Amino acid sequence: MEKKSLHTLHGGDLDEISRIYGIDKGEILNFSGNVNPLGLPLSVKNAIINNPDAAVNYPDVSYIELRRAIGEYTGADYENIVVGNGSTELISLFIKLILPKKAVIVSPAYSEYLNEIELSGGRAELFPLKEEEEFILDTDRLISVLTEDTDLLVICNPNNPTGTYIDCEEIKKLLIHCRDAGVYVMIDETYVEFSDRDKNVSAIPLVKEFGNLFVIRGTSKFFACPGLRLGYGICSDKNILKSINERKDPWSVNIFAEIAGRTMFADKEYIEKTLALTGRERKRIFETLKGFKNIHVYESQSNFFLCRLKREDMTSTQIFEQLIKDNILIRDASDFPYLGNRYLRFCILDEKSNTLLLNSLKKCVD
């Protein structure tokens, strides 16, 4: 029972861990949450501190300023943007609108896609990324499983928990096929902003051309603000946007999320610092782990890594239990579909913490 709840724990939900292992919450190095270690942008903090009285006003029901800020940031037309209470609300609204009869989900993936599809009366088939292909998507193989009755394809890019990605050109190939076959494509880009700028990961440049594409993004991970509940969706099909707006609670994004959103996307310093830290540490961690004889690490374009234990006499749960003794909290990834009990996921924190993790991990497995 306790083991189960640990597996499914959210990064922010440290109280349970703290209680079970008798560790002070503030002492835990949380590698399981995938949240930017730089913390809340100072600009956002100041915007909130300076505007507490904003709460006496309703948010702008059209969220014009917020959508314009997102437009500036992403390069998308603000009229193609819809905001929501975290990406969760948008995933739910889009699926409830499309009502897919048969969806294909590239997996292993976030369980919420499957839940929402089944809640809406649809059926979902999981399309497995293969370990022997380093969990890199084979676009042609994916296209070959999209049967005539498929009406929705769900991709997380870069993918959670594998960290792997497909680039914009491959996505375009998929989108052309899907458009011709009448398949909607939902791409969850929660982690895309952590990717290297020389990789073309985001599908946003394709939104205008493909009305069957719905791109979803959150702010929780990159801007370190899961408490704000701010997500957005981008789509060029005006009917989809109109229907989503009709169905959603008009003010589901609260005024502090609105204020924060109008601030964070313009905070170039925070964004650059994040990219520099993530890029540098991602490279270092990857190179270090490649030197571990008992760990296989998969290349990542996200702010986390998936690893496989090569030793047959060790499980991910054992490693989890070992590391927590050093106050290090990682994600035992064994409950994701297609991953066995030798998969671990951990995110990139600051340099010092990352070194502690690498050392502890080496001590445990190598």
Query: What is the binding site for a second copy (CB under 8 A)?
Result: 10-13, 35, 39-40, 44-45, 48-49, 52-59, 61, 85-86, 88-89, 92, 119, 220, 224-229, 247, 249-252, 254-257, 260
Nearest-approach distance from CB 74 to a second copy, in angstroms: 21
Nearest-approach distance from CB 140 to a second copy, in angstroms: 36
Nearest-approach distance from CB 66 to a second copy, in angstroms: 13
Give 28: exposed, middle or buried? Use CB within 10 Å, 0-12, 13-18, 19+.
Answer: middle
By C-beta, is 86 or 163 nearer to a second copy? 86
By C-beta, is 189 or 258 nearer to a second copy? 258
By C-beta, is 161 or 261 nearer to a second copy? 261
Nearest-approach distance from CB 33 to a second copy, in angstroms: 9
Give 283: exposed, middle or buried? Use CB within 10 Å, 0-12, 13-18, 19+.
Answer: exposed
- First-to-last alpha carbon distance for the chain, in angstroms, is 30
Adjacent-strand bridge partners of 104: 125, 153
By C-beta, is 56 or 198 nearer to a second copy? 56
Nearest-approach distance from CB 303 to a second copy, in angstroms: 15
Q: What is the total residue count of the chain?
A: 366
Nearest-approach distance from CB 292 to a second copy, in angstroms: 31
Count of alpha carbons within 13 angstroms of residue 45, beta-carbon side? 7
Question: Distance between CA atoms of 85 and 68, rounded to whole angstroms?
Answer: 17
By C-beta, is 121 or 227 nearer to a second copy? 227
Cβ contact 91:186 at 8 Å: yes
User: Is the bond leading into 158 cis (omega within 30 degrees of zero)?
Assistant: yes
By C-beta, is 10 or 310 nearer to a second copy? 10
Question: Distance between CA atoms of 45 and 40, rounded to whole angstroms?
Answer: 7
Coil, helix or strand at residue 283? helix
Cβ contact 38:274 at 8 Å: yes
By C-beta, is 85 or 164 nearer to a second copy? 85
CA-CA-CA-CA torsion sign (329, 335, 339, 342): positive
By C-beta, is 165 or 256 nearer to a second copy? 256
CA distances from 62 to 91, 104, 246, 256, 258 (A): 20, 33, 12, 15, 11
Nearest-approach distance from CB 89 to a second copy, in angstroms: 5
Cβ contact 235:207 at 8 Å: yes
Nearest-approach distance from CB 3 to a second copy, in angstroms: 19
Coil, helix or strand at residue 216? strand
Structure tokens, 9: 């724990």
